[in-house]
Copies of this chain bind each other. A is one copy, B any other.
Amino acid sequence: MLPWDTELAGRLDHATILSEVLRDNPLGDPYERPLWVYVPPGYDDDPRVRYPSVYVIQGYTGFVTMWANRAPYRQPFVETADALFASGAAPGCVVVYVDAWTAYGGSQFVDSAGTGRYHTYLCDEVVPWVDARYRTLPDRESRAIAGKSSGGFGAMITPMLRPDLFGALASHAGDTLYELCYIPEFGKAARLLRQYDHDIMRWWEDFRSRTAFTKEADHTLLMVLGVSACFSPGPDGRPRLPFDPHSGQLLPEVWQRWLDWDPVRMVDRYAGQLRSLRAVWLDAGKRDEWFLDLGTEAFRAGLARVGVPDERVSFELYDATHMAIDYRYPLALSWLAHRLAR
């Protein structure tokens, strides 16, 4: 396998979408957003054929142009996805690479007074934009959403909130079971905040003023700040931490706002919506640094509890950490491609 660029059998369009709902977003982030749309081989040959679509969203700190990143001995997902369709291993799909980056590193794909209305942007702007310009099958039964980490979270919750749009999903090590994936981070964060007078905004000012990720605190505090902006903004839109910044002790009211967004805890509230899904792919590495293998197990148990039939669910834990699991994406894509209505 050569490491340099590969020609695609399909076509990848680098588009730009002008979002109305992100205009005036609280962080002043751009509302003109990149959007990559891939059409499979053969798309341009027969204008009568319509295709299912899969929306792909990213993990925390991801932005759409990172999909072009190359790594040794592995091909980028854009290419492995293309190879899947080119080889005939999976029937063709339109694949939409969505950007939901914010200045805090991510949006969790929710509407938030702290970051902006990224859920609405995704559902009410990106989806119609794609359906209007590409020969998709514009129906929930033919539309899926997939992602890793925060993107896996987004892939779990978006079909719960909008079952009219999405009938299938794939989550790779998606954020869930918040007691295990988040609480230990709060302990680390509280310690790191000792250097910043227990004020995360002091860290944020420092972070903005220098080369990013040169201090031990950076990764943890960025995530804690950004997810607070998504899940627990104050009335003024400023992030409120779910823990005491001196001791790390949970603040029950704020923490409850986070728990309300825990897929494991949303399962019962959205039981009907989940039962309506035609295909759910769940996987995670058994050594995931955020215990997301356990979270995925808990979410899968929740699906069983509310009556999602086993044959619609693919569940796998494998030997890996949270990192370098991009090779799982084409497995899920192929599985979804065979299950979406066409």
Using CB atoms and an 8 Å cutoff, list the residues of chain A in contact with chain B.
Answer: 2-5, 30, 34, 61-66, 68-74, 99, 101, 105, 177, 179-180, 183-184, 186-187, 190-191, 211-214, 244, 246-250, 264, 286, 291, 293-295, 297-298, 301, 319-320, 324, 327
Contacts and interface: CB of A to CB of B under 8 A. Distances in A.
19 contacts: A4-B65, A63-B70, A63-B72, A65-B70, A66-B69, A73-B212, A74-B211, A74-B212, A180-B248, A183-B184, A191-B286, A191-B293, A191-B294, A211-B327, A214-B319, A244-B298, A246-B297, A247-B295, A248-B294
B64 A4 contact: yes
Contact of A72 (B62, B297, B301): B62
B65 A61 contact: no
A210 B301 CA distance: 31
A294 B73 CA distance: 30
A194 B244 CA distance: 34
Contacts of A247: 177, 294-295, 297-298, 301
A73 B223 CA distance: 13
A70 B218 CA distance: 18
Nearest to A66: B70
Contacts of A187: 180, 184, 291, 294
A5 B65 contact: yes
Given A179-B183, A248-B294, 16 more contacts: A63-B70, A65-B70, A66-B70, A66-B71, A72-B105, A72-B212, A74-B211, A177-B247, A179-B249, A180-B184, A191-B293, A213-B324, A214-B327, A244-B301, A247-B301, A248-B298
Contacts of A214: 319-320, 324, 327
A177 B187 CA distance: 10
A204 to B, nearest CB: 12
A138 to B, nearest CB: 28
B61 A72 contact: yes
List 6 tightest A-B contacts by C-beta distance, closest first: A73-B212, A61-B72, A247-B298, A69-B69, A187-B291, A248-B294
A150 to B, nearest CB: 12
Among A68, A72, A250, A320, the most chain B Cβ lie within 10 Å of the Cβ of A72
Given A244-B298, A246-B301, A4 B72 contact: no
Nearest to A249: B298
A248 B3 contact: no
A63 B4 contact: yes
Contacts of A191: 286, 291, 293-294
Contact of A183 (B70, B71, B183, B286): B183
Nearest to A69: B69
Contact of A101 (B3, B65, B190, B294): B3
A149 to B, nearest CB: 13
Among A5, A64, A70, the most chain B Cβ lie within 10 Å of the Cβ of A70
Contacts of A183: 179-180, 183-184
B294 A190 contact: yes
A160 B62 CA distance: 42
Given A63-B3, A298-B247, A179 B179 contact: yes
A247 B286 CA distance: 12
